[in-house]
Amino acid sequence: MLKSSIWIKEQAENFKLIEPFIPKLVRDGVISYGLGPYGYDIRLDHTYKKIRNNVQIIDPHNIKEEFYETLNEEKIIIPPASNILGQSLEYFKIPKKVLGLVYGKSTYARAGILVNVTPLEPEWSGFLTISISNVSKNTVVLYPGQGIAQVIFFESDRPPFFSYKDLNGKYNEQKDITISKI
């Protein structure tokens, strides 16, 4: 079942579902973030990774940390037809019967920015690594500390056979922007 703001607030305050947790939707002069009616709008951190100019091929079976440079900026400039790996400001602890789905903010989508985050699996925890792509023909500015995506939570009536934690998931408890692992 889709979970409401009441459930999200209770889980955040009592079980650290989201930290830090903003119990209202912040909108004045920013791209919104915080608690919404049926989801939580996460913020983009200032630190991000971009692929170095000298890297010609990205092969998920052979990605190395040195392919990326790590930057920290007040405004993130994304040139046309390029992408970065960002990170959420929020840390998540997903309960065993819960799945979180992440959708990009419409403000950025209207500017040509697509956000991709895989589902927040049962018993996964960590900061989200966020793939952000500029599919437009224009340079786009991102604003760290403001909303980048929304997480919607669903709870099952029964626990799964196994959770992400049970499987020793390779991205569990990530503290930094994490590149692909095989």
* Residue-range definition of the domain harbouring residue 86: 5-155
Q: Please enumerate in sequence order all residues whose Cβ is within 8 A of that of 85, keeping only pairs 6 or more positions apart, or say none.
A: 48, 49, 50, 68, 129, 130, 131, 132, 177, 179
Judge whether 137 lies within some domain.
yes
Judge whether 79 lies within some domain.
yes
Judge whether 96 lies within some domain.
yes
Judge whether 181 lies within some domain.
no
Question: What is the full DSSP assignment across 112-173?
Answer: TEEEE---B-TT-EEEEEEEEEE-SSS-EEE-TTSEEEEEEEEE-SS--SS-TTTTT-TTTT
Percent of the chain with pLDDT over 90: 95
What pLDDT, in 10s, does the model give residues 23-71?
Answer: 999 999 999 999 999 999 999 999 999 999 889 898 999 999 999 999 9
Judge whether 93 lies within some domain.
yes
- In the chain, how many domains are there? 1
Judge whether 69 lies within some domain.
yes
- Its pTM surpasses 0.75: yes
Judge whether 174 lies within some domain.
no
Beta strands in 5-104 (DSSP E): 18-19, 25-26, 33-35, 40-43, 47-51, 68-72, 76-78, 82-93, 98-104
Indicate if the pLDDT at residue 182 is higher than 90.
no
CATH code for the domain of 138: 2.70.40.10
What pLDDT, in 10s, does the model give residues 83-116?
Answer: 999 999 999 999 999 999 999 999 999 999 999 9
